[in-house]
Amino acid sequence: MTTISERPSKPVLLTGASGALGTMLAQALSAQGWQLRLTDRLAFLAALPDGAAFTLADLEDEAAIRSLAEGCGTILHFGGVSMEEPFDAVLGPNIRGVYHVYEAARQVGARVVFASSHHVAGFYERGVTVTADSPMRPDGYYALSKTYGEMMARLYWDKHGVESVLVRIGVSRPQPTEDRMLTTWLSHPDLVRLVERSVLAEAVGCIPIWGVSNNRRMTWWQGDAREVIGWQPQDSADPHASAIEGLTSGDPVAERYQGAGFCRKYYTRDLPAGR
C-alpha cells in the first residue's frame, strides 16, 4: 500500500462508489489518506470514510460529472452497468456516461483510470492467448460498452492528451469461488495496489493492463503495460485450488469461451463460431 507521503496531491473522483468494488476502493484509499470525491446514482450505504465526500449523481448528467471533477487530478471510473444487460440499459450509463467522464477529464486536466473488463475479449476460446494488441471480441452489450470506453480513451489521448490506464478486470471478489477463477481472479488488495500505482505513476499515456492476480493457470492474457506503472500482483488463486477445482457451470457455451456466462446470455447460435 502507499504511504501518506505518496498520496495524490489533488482530490480523486471515484464514480460507481456505491458498488461492491467502489465501496471497497473508497475504504482502502481513504485509509491511505487520499482525499476522495465519491459519486453514484445510488446511495452510499457504508459508513462514509474519513476524508471522503459523497454526492448523488447520474453519469448521464454531464454538468454534474464536470462539476465533481473540478480540481481533481484523477477520475477512477468504476461507474455504470456492470453486468450483461439489454442494449438500452447499457446505452446511457456506459456509453454516454463514459463520454461525460472523458469530457470532464479533458476540461479539468485529469487522468482516467477506467474499469474496463476482460469481457472485451470474452469470445476468445479458453486457452487462446490474448495480448493487449489482439483484436477485441466482446461477449455482449456490457463488453461492447467497455470496448467503446477503451476506444474513447485512445481518442482522448491521441486528440487531447488525456492519460488513461485501462484496467481489464478479471473477476475481483474477496476470494475465488469456482474453477474458472483459478485463472481470472483478482484479489481486492491487488486491485487496490493497481489503482494506487495507476494514479501515482509519473506518466502513463494510454495503456491497457490485465487486472488479474498472480495465478499459475493464467496463460490467456499476456502482454500488457504494467511495468509502466510499476505494478505486479502479489496474491494468487492457487491456494484455493483444492476447494474449487472442477466447480464449473456445466454449460458448453460458458465453458468454451473466456467470457463464460456473459457469452451464454442471449446466445442464439446453433453452432459456435470458429476461432
Residue 116's Cβ-count burial label (10 Å; 0-12, 13-18, 19+) is buried
Q: Are 77 and 153 contacting, i.e. CB atoms less than 8 angstroms apart?
A: no
CB 235 within 8 A of CB 214: yes
In Å, the largest CA–CA distance within the chain is 58
Residues counted in the chain? 275
Of 102, 124, 141, 142, which is the active-site residue?
142
Residue 244: half-sphere exposure toward Cβ, Cα within 13 Å: 17
Share in percent of the chain as helix, strand, coil (round to 5): 40, 15, 45
Find the distance separating the first CA and the last CA of the chain, reported in whole Å.
Answer: 41
Amino acid letter, 176: P
Residue labelled with grid coordinates 509519473: 202
What is the DSSP code (8-state) at residue 161?
A: -
Alpha carbon distance 188, 174 (integer Å): 6
| 142 is a catalytic site residue | yes
Burial of 80 (0-12, 13-18, 19+ CB in 10 A): buried
What amino acid positions are annotated as catalytic residues?
A: 142
